[in-house]
């Protein structure tokens, strides 16, 4: 379990809502033409979220690598570095890293290839197939 | 099978997957049942147990094979087996719901393409299931090879391969001797999806090339979600080699007097015998204990 998960509520719906909030905050950042403060994000969201909630979500997004911040006077200004798909990629990557070394049952296109097999595979492909183009 | 709608017989690996999964499930249930029977007999001999006193009478002890050490050891063993099985099922559920949550905010659709240099592709089961592929993976494949990838992952989802994999994983937890079946089913589900993809794109060599190229590019930094197999030769070269052969005959039950046939019949017969013996033991113990229990 990751640190971010440990602090969350156990209810799936609550977690789902958190994931949706992350997406909304990211969208708000992306719609801004320049880096914005958390207060501005709160304003842009316009759904009565507490300031601390916005800070929490921004911090979580930063931990995932989806946003960056820089100091501007007494506050931080935040910038999105990933879009929605990028955020999904970062989330899934964290999940897969956390699951590494464990067995799981997602069926994958290819499994990791031991070095000996690579030799064997290259041999098979070279002998029986046209060389890959490019 | 589900394939009849498409006018095709199920590919050969489908039969193998079903046989191995059913055998694994039957053997796991049998071994767990036997453990439970030993536990009942063992617990009955412990002082202060909650079972009826008559169950530990000398007459019952004479009627059932009773070993003091095995009886006591079976109690924690059964607990460990049940806990390990529950944990595997729970982790599977948790991984799926987390992976689904990770994709929140993406437009709905059967395919999710993620901007990530790490080349990987998954079939994420769910309602509806989705194919997840990264730009890193798609970039290394040609356009026809991408069709292979999507056809392969779709086959995983259509035939609910995660259920087979979960079944054999839980079976391997219940009985460690069944671990080879887990590895085998991991391989046969991939072969099944490969054959489906080959039938869909109509070109086995194309599928072989796509699988081979994806394997070479994934080497070393693929996230290890799946069943790592270090058997030699490993699953990917075997998959490619199988695809370079002609399509295997779509039969679910091979003739007896071939190596495959003997193995299949032996597995089926062994599983049946095991199931019958377990059932026999369970019924016998039930009858003995019923006879020993005074009616109030």
Name the minimum distance, in Å, from the CA of A72 to any CA of chain B.
30
The answer to whether B239 touches B211, Cβ cutoff 8 Å, is yes
Domains in chain B: boundaries:
2-217+236-248+269-292
| B163: Cβ contacts below 8 Å, ≥ 6 apart | none
Tokens of A12: 């799936």
The answer to whether residue B75 scores a pLDDT higher than 70 is yes
On the 0-12 / 13-18 / 19+ scale of CB atoms within 10 A, A91 is buried
Asked if A110 is an interface residue toward chain B (Cβ–Cβ < 8 A), one would say yes
Does the interface ipTM go beyond 0.90?
no
The answer to whether B202 touches A122, Cβ cutoff 8 Å, is no
pLDDT band at residue B118 using 50, 70 and 90 as cut-offs: confident
Distance CA B19, CA B253 (A): 9
Which of B107, B165, B168, B225 would you mutate first to test chain A, the one with the most A CBs within 10 A? Answer: B225
Q: Which strands form A107-108's sheet, in the order they lie side by side?
A: A107-108, B121-124, B130-134, B111-114
What pTM was computed for the model?
Answer: 0.80
pLDDT at B194 over 70: yes
Min distance A28 CA to chain B CA atoms (Å): 13
More confidently predicted of A3 and B216? B216
Ordered by where they begin, the domains of chain A are 1-134 (1.10.10.10)
> Please, how many CA atoms are within 13 Å of residue B281, restricted to the half-sphere of its CB?
19
| Strand-strand pairing, B130-134 and B121-124 | antiparallel
Instruction: Summarize pLDDT for B123-181 with one digit per residue, the tens.
Output: 888 888 888 888 988 998 999 999 999 999 999 889 998 899 899 999 999 999 998 89
Three-state SS for A112?
coil
Residue A99 CB neighbour total at 10 angstroms: 20
Per-residue pLDDT of chain A (134 residues; tens, 9 = 90+): 444 444 444 455 676 677 788 888 998 888 888 899 998 899 888 878 889 999 999 999 998 888 999 998 888 999 988 888 888 998 888 887 777 545 555 666 666 667 777 788 888 777 655 544 43
The helix-helix angle for B179-201 and B143-158 (nearest 10°) equals 130
- Close Cβ partners of A34 (under 8 Å, ≥ 6 residues apart): none
What is the pLDDT at residue B296?
53
Between residues B200 and A130, which one has the greater pLDDT?
B200
Nearest to B159 by CA among B135, B195, B134, B184: B195
């Amino acid at each position: 379990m990751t640190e971010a998960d440990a602090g969350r509520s156990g209810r799936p719906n609550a977690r789902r809502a958190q994931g949706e909030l992350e997406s909304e905050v990211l969208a708000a950042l992306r719609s801004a033409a320049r880096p914005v403060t958390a207060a501005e994000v709160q304003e842009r969201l316009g759904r009565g979220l507490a300031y601390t909630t916005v800070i929490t979500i921004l911090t979580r997004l930063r931990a995932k690598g989806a946003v960056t911040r820089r100091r501007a006077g007494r506050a931080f200004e935040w910038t999105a570095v990933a879009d929605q798909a990028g955020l999904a990629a970062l989330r899934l990557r964290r999940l897969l890293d956390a699951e590494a070394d464990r067995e799981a049952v997602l069926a994958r296109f290819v499994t990791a290839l031991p070095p000996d097999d690579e030799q064997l595979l290259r041999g098979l492909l070279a002998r029986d197939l046209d060389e890959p183009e490019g | 099978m589900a394939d009849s709608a498409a006018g095709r017989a199920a590919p050969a690996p489908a039969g193998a997957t079903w046989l191995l999964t059913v055998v694994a499930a039957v053997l796991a249930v049998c071994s767990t049942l036997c453990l439970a029977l030993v536990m009942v007999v063992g617990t009955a001999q412990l002082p202060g147990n909650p079972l009826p006193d008559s169950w530990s009478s000398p007459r019952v002890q004479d009627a059932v094979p009773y070993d003091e050490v095995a009886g006591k050891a079976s109690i924690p063993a059964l607990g460990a087996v049940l806990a390990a099985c529950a944990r595997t099922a729970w982790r599977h559920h948790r991984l799926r719901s987390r992976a689904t949550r990770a994709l929140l905010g993406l437009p709905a659709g059967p395919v999710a393409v993620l901007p990530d240099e790490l080349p990987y592709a998954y079939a994420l089961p769910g309602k509806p299931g989705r194919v997840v592929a990264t730009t890193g993976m798609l970039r290394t494949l040609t356009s026809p090879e991408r069709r292979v990838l999507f056809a392969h992952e779709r086959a995983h989802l259509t035939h609910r391969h995660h259920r087979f994999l979960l079944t054999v994983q839980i079976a391997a937890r219940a009985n460690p001797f069944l671990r080879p079946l887990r590895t085998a089913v991991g391989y046969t589900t991939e072969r099944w999806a490969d054959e489906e993809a080959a039938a869909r794109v109509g070109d086995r060599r194309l599928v072989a090339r796509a699988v081979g190229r994806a394997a070479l590019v994934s080497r070393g930094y693929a996230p290890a979600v799946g069943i790592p197999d270090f058997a030699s030769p490993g699953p990917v070269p075997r998959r490619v080699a199988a695809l370079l052969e002609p399509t295997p005959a779509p039969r679910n039950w091979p003739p007896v007097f071939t190596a495959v046939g003997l193995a299949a019949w032996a597995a089926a017969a062994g599983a049946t015998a095991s199931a019958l013996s377990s059932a026999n033991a369970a019924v016998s113990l039930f009858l003995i204990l019923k006879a020993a229990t005074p009616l109030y």
